[in-house]
Homo-oligomer: A and B are copies of this chain.
Amino acid sequence: MAEPTPHARVDLDAVERNIERLQAYCDRHGLACRPHVKTHKLPAIAHAQMRAGAVGITCQKLGEAEVMVAAGLRDVLIAYPIVGAANLARLAALARSARISVAVDSAAVAEPLAEALAAAGLELDVLVEIDAGLGRTGVRDAAAARELALALERLGGVRFAGLLVYPTPADPALLGAARDAIAAVGVAVPRVSGGGTEGAWRTHELGLVDELRAGTYALGDRACLANGANTLEDCALRVRSTVVSCPEPGVAVLDAGSKALTTDPVEASGPGVGSEQVAGHGLVVERPRARVAVLYEEHARLELDPGEPGLAVGDTVDIVPNHACGAINLHDRVVVHRSGAPVGIWPVAARGAIA
């Protein structure tokens, strides 16, 4: 019997092609590949990334890292400031089982971190985060980066391990200035770690970033279709959905809503990205000109294109979500296949993890 809908499906053949392609790019340009697993949250895919040649993985929170270490991953960068006694205790515990590194952007984060790690008899690699212009975490000038690197050199429990930025900026001026300011005081900058799928393929052009943390490339999504980072064939994650109502001509209501797809938007990005590519809540593979116009929690209102065939109650379609990382985070399990042939049903092991 067919799987009930809505459910998330992952095409492992497509995932492996995506992994091999990015790894080949990294190998060609001498970049370390450290995939971000927040996108897929699946240990088996993290292991596939390691087998392909990754130097380690990236997580966005402790909970993800705990799941990945429990699944046998051994080198994990948590690209996030770890704050608070509870989380510092978890970090120290985790660092006994695997090579863990973290990022900081202030002394207010670095000092308690160093103290907790030193007290546990540990010494971890710590990267200084540089703001890429997003206005979230990251230091804003080269002098602040230098001071933080010097502080890490001075403190016990931590080793200054380089710079980290998200996304890899088109204008690397601040990143380069930070590296130079640190080198100028005699401190080595072991690595410069950049991130993001959208700009991944141009990382080598900067001549500055030597580690690439991309996440979405493994699954692909509609945002990456819009910005040109993947093709439809690369979109390995799709949400299968059933038509449950045809309330008026030209409209089909699907059983995949915001609890299967998220309300995450596609941000307009890059030249040639028109409103058609960013409006709506996903791409219906079988009706690419239809628009997922409105999401409710368990319904999508699909507005059909008159040039495409209609849909009837009971028909199923596959939807490429706007944002793979958000969508898979809603699903406890994914139906895994190889270009249609079943592989199994996998728990999304690192979803729902706290902190």
Contacts and interface: CB of A to CB of B under 8 A. Distances in A.
Given A80-B298, A136-B299, A1 B89 contact: yes
Interface in A208-267: 242-248, 251, 253, 255, 258-259, 262-265
Interface in A286-333: 294, 296-299, 301, 312-314, 325-326, 329-333
Nearest to A62: B4
Contacts of A246: 106, 108
Contact of A140 (B247, B265, B299, B355): B247
Contacts of A242: 83-84
A340 interface: no
A270 interface: no
A352 interface: yes
B326 A258 contact: yes
B86 A3 contact: yes
A85 interface: yes
A81 interface: yes
User: How many copies of the shown chain assemble into the complex?
Assistant: 2
Given A84-B5, A105-B245, A294 B258 contact: no
Give the interface residue-count category, chain A. 35 or more
A332 B83 CA distance: 22
A60 B313 contact: no
Contacts of A2: 84-86
A84 B4 CA distance: 8
A212 B140 CA distance: 54
A7 B354 contact: yes
B297 A354 contact: no
A263 B281 CA distance: 12
Interface string A75-87: 0000011011111
Contact of A354 (B6, B135, B262, B352): B6
A255 B82 CA distance: 10
Contacts of A299: 136-137
A340 to B, nearest CB: 18
Given A1-B85, A5-B355, A85-B2, A244 B80 contact: yes
Contacts of A140: 247-248
A146 interface: no
A4 B245 contact: no
A131 B299 CA distance: 14
A243 B84 CA distance: 10
Contact of A137 (B38, B138, B247): B247
A259 B323 CA distance: 12
Contacts of A263: 262-265, 326
B352 A108 contact: no
Contacts of A243: 83
Nearest to A3: B86
Interface string A53-92: 0000000111000000000000000001101111101100
Given A4-B354, A38-B298, 19 more contacts: A2-B86, A3-B354, A4-B87, A6-B355, A60-B297, A81-B245, A83-B243, A83-B255, A84-B242, A106-B245, A108-B312, A108-B313, A109-B245, A135-B251, A136-B299, A263-B263, A263-B265, A263-B326, A352-B352
> Top 4 closest A-B pairs, CB basis?
A332-B352, A108-B313, A4-B355, A137-B245
